[in-house]
Structure 1
């Protein structure tokens, strides 16, 4: 426990020195929120009884998760692998689980800070009122985080170096971000694009969060929750098993 707390503290300090996580994980969701409000915030979403702001609110909470999962965790671990930092950890009592948990905690704190700011701006400045349960939203939020971070850690364990990780994360992050409905309302996509984007786990996670914030029933909710849970468990277990120090 002491090694985990120490490593997490160090990783947290290092994370504050890089602007990528702050820009993409915290700044971007707030900017998109304000942009949606300026363009179509009070307009009805495709004739529904809720606005585009209501429809997009849950999606923007997931942006911070997506950014830290694919542009934070894998790149940080692979950078440490390139610089032989993980090789030094190998001769210490630190286990792969401790390294992974430390990265998970730091990324989670960044994503939570992003979500808190989005909620604060939405409620205080944009008069947002959620129709669903905050408790269910918190549970759904951490479930989506668990599954996305599992994928990010799996990428970190599979990629040999930072160059490969950059390529893989780019091809995973941007399609996941733009096709899942995280920054562009999913309803605006053509049917063909919607069918393709449905296979993305973040798409299912956003559907779950959106159904909670709008207090609407979700078809196959149990299947979606089971899918995200199993995905998170499987990817975490595999990531730990195949974790490489160098």
Structure 2
């Protein structure tokens, strides 16, 4: 694994030239925040339990950040390397091909962290975002974000495993990604969804990620056992399925 860090540096340079993941991880959540924050501000609202729109939106938009890297960038990078025989070639060399999987994960996680920091900074500087009220709430938010990221990456690993080509990986990733972000409360608050849409959203792991992050950020008294259980189950089952189904060539 001594070659891991040179591969990580290569992947980071490659990522910086990839417009799609960089835009949707760094710019898109901030643009969403500026649009809805500019319309509604951050005044306390009864439908949000006395919280402001921005206070509710920022934890939800964090799911946007980890979803685009976990469900799009990570699996598409792996599918591209497999489709172009990169992994197959490196398996015949002293370089451990698994280093590319690890490097992809580390680079995408770093991009997620940068996107999360930019989003929180924009909310705080421009809209008076209320940060977690206590160190415990801050630690809970960090832990929730990590669990949410792992669940998205586990699903992304399944996408990379079942896709037979780079083109099919793009199609599958889009079919998974867009319902996740638009029907889970990550872009539009669940509180304004009709009952039918709420029923659909209950089947999406991203819904539980949004709820967990909002509860952690706002230090709410809600029971998060279901959220934790669903996301932990996704991590375990998704990782097992990806490891079982993944093909190097």
Q: Does 1:222 align with 2:225?
A: yes
Q: Which residue pairs with 2:145 in the alignment? A: 141
- Note the residue ranges of structure 2 that are not aligned, 5 or more in a row: none
> SS of the counterpart of 2:42?
coil
> SS of the counterpart of 1:71?
helix
Q: Which residue pairs with 1:232 in the alignment? A: 235
| Root mean square deviation, CA, Å | 1.6
Q: CA deviation at 1:55?
A: 1.2
**8 Å CA contact 1:208, 1:218 repeated in 2:** no
* CA pair 204-96 structure 1, distance change in 2 beyond 3 A: farther
**8 Å CA contact 1:96, 1:243 repeated in 2:** no
* CA pair 226-96 structure 1, distance change in 2 beyond 3 A: farther
Q: Which residue pairs with 1:84 in the alignment? A: 85
Q: Which moved more, 1:176-185 or 1:90-99?
A: 90-99
Q: Does 1:123 align with 2:124?
A: yes
- Note the residue ranges of structure 1 that are not aligned, 5 or more in a row: none
TM-score normalised according to structure 2 size: 0.93
Q: Deviations over 1:90-141 (max 9, x none)?
A: 2134456433221111111111111000111111222211344111100100
**8 Å CA contact 2:132, 2:138 repeated in 1:** no
> SS of the counterpart of 2:3?
helix
Q: Equivalents in 2 of 1:47, 1:205: separation in Å? A: 18
Q: Which residue pairs with 2:64 in the alignment? A: 63
Q: Does 1:173 align with 2:174?
A: no
Q: Which moved more, 1:199-208 or 1:82-91?
A: 82-91
Q: How many residues align?
A: 245
* CA pair 190-78 structure 1, distance change in 2 beyond 3 A: same
**8 Å CA contact 1:100, 1:153 repeated in 2:** no
